[in-house]
Amino acid sequence: METPHSAYLDQLNDVQKNAVTATEGPVLVVAGPGSGKTRVLTFRIAYLIEKGIPPWQILTLTFTNKAAREMKERIGKVVGDRANQVWAGTFHSIFARILRVEADKIGYPSNFTIYDSDDTKSVITKIIKDMNLDKNTYNANAIRSRISSAKSNLITPILYAKNEELMQQDRMSKRPHLHKIYAAYTAKCKQAGAMDFDDLLYRLFELFQRNPDDVLGKYREKFKYLLVDEFQDTNQLQYAIIRKLVNYDKSDRNICVVGDDAQSIYAFRGATIQNILDFEQDFKPHGIQVFKLEQNYRSTDHIVQAANEVIMNNRRQIQKKIWSDKGGGSPISMIKAMTDSEEGKRVADTIIEQKNRMHLQNSDIAILYRTNSQSRIFEEYLRRYNVSYKIFGGLSFYQRKEIKDLIAYLRLVVNPKDEEALRRVINFPKRGIGQSSIDKVSGQAAAKGQTLWQSLPEAEVGKRAKQSINEFVDMVKKAAHKAATANAYEVAAYMAKQSGLLDLLKADNTVEGLGRIENFNALLDGIKAFVEDDTVIDVDTLPDKSLATYLQNIALLTDSDDKDKDGDYVTLMSVHAAKGLEFKSIFVVGLEEDLFPSFMSMDSLDGLDEERRLFYVAITRAEQLLTLSYANSRYRFGKMRYNEPSRFLSEIPDKHLANANKTSSRRSSSDSGGAVRSKVSGAFKKKTSSFKIDPTTFQPSPSSEIKAGQKVLHLKFGEGVVKSIDGGAANRIATIYFDGIDHPNRRIMLKFAKLQILT
DNA sequence: GTTGGTATCTGTGGA
DNA sequence: AGATACCAAC
């Protein structure tokens, strides 16, 4: 083998270069934010290829399709077309590919369906109902996540029932039958020929476990070099599979994992940073090499230092100190708003200002929030200001009803055992097969030990329903027959028409209806594009335009995957979705206790540490400008809530803040230098004292009801009398006299004001 | 079986 | 607030 000395190596610093060229044996790369992690990974792969390793012997596992695609692109720039022959993809998609080939060995059909979390939830809900359990105690979402974490920890239903700790927890939460639901759910999925997201991992593990020689041996032989991106986000199950592939006798153990414990933000779905620590131990006997990338090439010093200070508050971490030589740059700014809507306005104002003063493009700017539901207000103001924007996340394209409906028909065509799909479409559009008929057939199926689909032709139901069922079955069979020879688009177009979905959508002329038909057509266009796409993905996959292959492709897509990067827009997304991205200017909004950190995480220190890492991820997305904002009050779940500013704000030292002391609300403690420094928002607690009234009992009246002469209560200014109202209908301004404050006559925009009418 | 109205629940992140 | 589940009336 030759040792390449390509020019691209000169683009790397010393540590990066060492991490790239240490190709043999186990390697751990600890990579801080902005430290050139992707660059190291891609150059490493390019280096392997140039060294003469056949690209198809290299397996690269990522968490998002986007990361995999970008990596392939960047490798391609160095080594050309050979990049396409590297096995690079998400854990889920690579494993699904292997499972398609080997499914029969674990009792699954090769055309198995992939259940998304909605399918999973609905199966679980149905089981709970069938078992006559209380659906409030047995909360479907809670159970789904418990089952999911069991699988992620390699706990089968049988092991679950034997696990005293888990069973004890279930008894404590009054859900002693949870393990039975888990068992029933597993059986149902298997019967339906379906795998959920966790199964794609678990079933592969099972496959390897049960077929150590023929199957596992084959893939060990095939994948000589393994690379794992974002290793801190792997769960136990994923690591177990990785170990099966590379950690065995006589293995060269050519594995390279890249990760940053400080950016682990997926513990909620079973990821554990313990894997990084274990990795070091597991591969120590085999000469593990550890590289730490600490130089940050992304952000200016204020941002990097603030990030370091914040993360220091976490209890457990791999020691490292991120540094930047980009100079101080702008200090971090703060926006303190009274209401969520004021927060939206001021963020939009600041965006306009940055665009004007710093000549930023829309695409240089991103607004990051903890929960997707926060996007609405920013959307409103950006639209009002005519700033183009794009929202990522939220309801993905494939989660829309009209899309799921057609997909369900297609799923049924490919795999008639898919009961979720069958139930979804058997009576949509309405064809007179009501709930009671379905329940009847379902009971008959259970009695005979058949799937629902198998029982349909022999269903014993009323005459009209029977007739409809027969027509429905015929339609699906015809489509299935067609699918044996036709491509995905032909079947989809046929089904769209025959099912009646297309006609139903066309009949709806409302604005929403037009949107739906647009989506529906976009889906058909997408299927057409899939059929007509002639790029070869890799050597192992023959071009296959079948419906089954199409469905497999989209099941593992996420919203962020089908975005078009072109266009100049401000990006709005959750912090989770922003991982791996960077922008010149970042707004982290909604920094309030119970929101960020989320109330769901507040009961444990682990949860809080994870929120802090999330905050760390958020602020390290910024290259030059970072703006943090919070609102004292916001609407949540239909009610006005009052929140303290996030504790994370107090973890950033004043010296990194632009306007640390310029606020009316915490004037009192700023001179002590501890304004934002106190532990757990001690200083902020005083902020409530600036309210004249108790926010928790304050009930704002609709602004349309405010009239001259009324006595009103204002959250901040207290009691006042409305003197007059002027301005147009949409922009009514009230002049209100508040006794005992500076400038007692205040002009208040009713649109933004929260006023409670007293008389 | 279908329709329309009311009660109830939900509430974070995502492959 | 919005989605969904449930129930009574048609």
Q: Is the pLDDT of residue A752 over 70?
A: no
Is the pTM value of this prediction over 0.85?
no
Whether nucleic acid strand B comes within 7 Å of the CB of A141, the answer is: yes
SS3 A284: helix
Closest CA to A34 of A260, A257, A255: A260
d(CA A176, CA A220): 41
The single residue of A119, A229, A611, A651 carrying the catalytic annotation is A229
Instruction: Say how far A126 CA is from B9 C1', in Å.
Output: 17
Nearest nucleotide from residue A639 CA, by C1' atom: C1
Identify whether A274 is a catalytic site residue.
no
User: What is the four-CA torsion angle of A112, A117, A120, A125, rounded to 10 degrees?
Assistant: -160
Say how far A417 CA is from C9 C1', in Å: 36
pLDDT-derived band at A741, boundaries 50, 70, 90: low
Give the least confident one: A107-116, A210-219, A687-696, A737-746. A687-696
Answer whether residue A3 shows pLDDT above 90: no
Res. A356: pLDDT tops 50: yes
DSSP bridge pairs for A336: A630
Q: Do A295 and A325 meet the contact criterion of CB atoms below 8 Å apart? A: yes
Q: Residues 213-272 of A near strand B (Cβ < 7 Å)? A: 267-269
CA A636 to C1' C1, in angstroms, rounded, equals 8
Judge whether residue A117 contacts strand C, using its CB and a 7 Å cut-off.
no
Eight-class DSSP state of A251: -
Nucleotide C6 C1' to residue A129 CA (A): 14
b/e map of A720-746 (b: 16 or more CB within 10 Å)? bbbeebeeeeeebbbbbebeeeeeeeb
**Average pLDDT value for residue range A405-420:** 92
User: Which residue(s) pair with A31 in the sheet?
Assistant: A293
CA dihedral over A168, A173, A179, A182, signed as positive or negative: negative
pLDDT, position A228: 96
Digit-coded pLDDT (tens) for A216-267: 999 999 999 999 999 999 999 999 999 999 999 989 999 999 999 999 998 8
Whether A662 is a known active-site residue: answer no
Q: What is the pLDDT of residues A279-324, one digit of tens each?
A: 999 999 999 999 999 999 999 999 999 999 999 998 877 888 889 9
Which residues contact residue A561 at a Cβ distance below 8 angstroms, ignoring those fewer than 6 apart?
A64, A65, A66
Q: What is the pLDDT of residue A304?
A: 94
Question: According to the model, what pLDDT value does residue A607 have?
Answer: 85
Q: Which nucleotide is closest, CA of A638 to its C1'?
A: C1
pLDDT of amino acid A208? 96
| Residue A72 is a catalytic residue | no
A341-358 mean pLDDT: 93
Q: What is residue A315's predicted lDDT score, i.e. its pLDDT?
A: 82
Asked if A258 and A16 touch (Cβ cutoff 8 Å), the reply is no
pLDDT at residue A666 greater than cutoff 80: no
Q: What mean pLDDT comes out for the span A94-113?
A: 93
Residue A635 Cβ under 7 A from any strand C atom: yes
The tokens of A365 are what?
A: 């700017």
Ordered DSSP codes for A433-460: --HHHHHHHHHHHHHHT--HHHHGGG--
Distance CA A166, CA A181 (A): 14
- d(CA A12, C1' C3) / Å: 52
User: Which one is catalytic: A431, A621, A634, A687?
Assistant: A621
Catalytic member of A38, A289, A317, A371: A38
A339 within 8 A of A319, measured Cβ to Cβ: no
Residues 132-161 of A with CB under 7 A from strand C: 135
Nucleotide nearest to A118 (CA to C1'): B14
pLDDT at position A716:
67
Distance, CA of A743 to CA of A741 (rounded, Å): 6
Nearest of A48, A613, A77, A708 to residue A318 by alpha carbon: A613
Using DSSP, state whether A636 is helix, strand or coil. strand
A38 carries an active-site annotation: yes
Q: Is the CB of A507 under 7 A from strand B?
A: no
Output the pLDDT for position A674. Answer: 32
Pairing of β A622-636 and β A583-588: parallel
A186: annotated active-site residue: no
Of A315-329, A395-409, A465-479, A692-706, minimum mean pLDDT range: A692-706
> Could you check: is the Cβ of residue A702 within 7 Å of any atom of nucleic acid strand C?
no
Residue position matching structure tokens 């928790």 = A696
Q: Express as a percent the part of chain A with pLDDT over 70.
A: 89
What band does A547 get if pLDDT is binned at 50, 70 and 90?
A: very high
A263 is catalytic: yes
Give the C-alpha separation, A406 to A520, whole Å.
8
Q: What is the per-residue pLDDT for A696?
A: 57
pLDDT for A697: 64
At residue A53, does pLDDT exceed 90?
A: yes
What does the pLDDT look like over A668-693, one tens digit per residue? 333 333 333 333 332 332 233 334 45
- Protein chain A, residues 512-571, with a C-beta closer than 7 Å to any atom of nucleic acid strand B: 556, 558-560
At which residue do the structure tokens 């893939």 appear? A219
In this structure, are residues A297 and A320 in contact, taking their beta carbons and an 8 Å threshold? no
> Which of A366, A375, A365, A387 minimizes the C-alpha distance to A344?
A375
A558 CA, C7 C1': Å apart: 37
Give the distance, in angstroms, between residue A171 CA and nucleotide B8 C1': 26
Average pLDDT, chain A: 85
CA distance A184 to A17: 52
CA–C1' span, A91 to B1, in Å?
A: 45
Closest CA to the C1' of B10: that residue is A637
In the Cβ-directed half-sphere of A630, how many Cα atoms lie within 13 Å?
A: 21
pLDDT digits (tens, 9 = 90+) for A157-191: 999 999 999 999 888 888 888 999 999 999 999 99
Q: Helix (H, G, I), strand (E, B), or coil: what is residue A327?
A: coil
Residue A689: per-residue pLDDT? 31
Exposed, middle or buried: residue A503 (CB in 10 Å: 0-12, 13-18, 19+)? exposed
Catalytic residue among A62, A113, A234, A263: A263
Please state the rounded mean pLDDT for residues A543-559: 81
Q: Is the CB of A431 under 7 A from strand B?
A: yes
Listed residue (A706, A717, A758, A723) closest to A739, CA to CA? A717
Strand B lies under 7 A from the Cβ of residue A419: no
Q: Which nucleotide is nearest to A434 (CA to C1')?
A: B1
pLDDT tier at A2, thresholds 50, 70, 90: low
Phi and psi of A571, rounded to 5°? -90, 130
* A685 vs A572 pLDDT, higher one: A572
In angstroms, how far is B12 C1' from A598 CA? 7
pLDDT in tens, A123-153: 888 888 888 888 778 888 888 888 998 999 9
pLDDT at position A594 is 87
A427 nearest nucleotide via C1' and CA = B1
The mean per-residue pLDDT over the stretch A739-755 comes to 70
Q: What's the sign of the alpha-carbon dihedral A16, A18, A22, A25? A: negative
CA–C1' nearest nucleotide, residue A373: B12
Q: Which of A227-231, A493-497, A714-718 has the lowest mean pLDDT?
A: A714-718
Buried b (16+ CB within 10 A) or exposed e, A526-539: bbbebbeeeeeebe
What is the percent of chain A where pLDDT is above 90?
48
* Higher pLDDT pick, A740 / A653: A653
Which nucleotides of strand B come closer than 7 angstroms to any CB of the protein?
1-3, 9-15
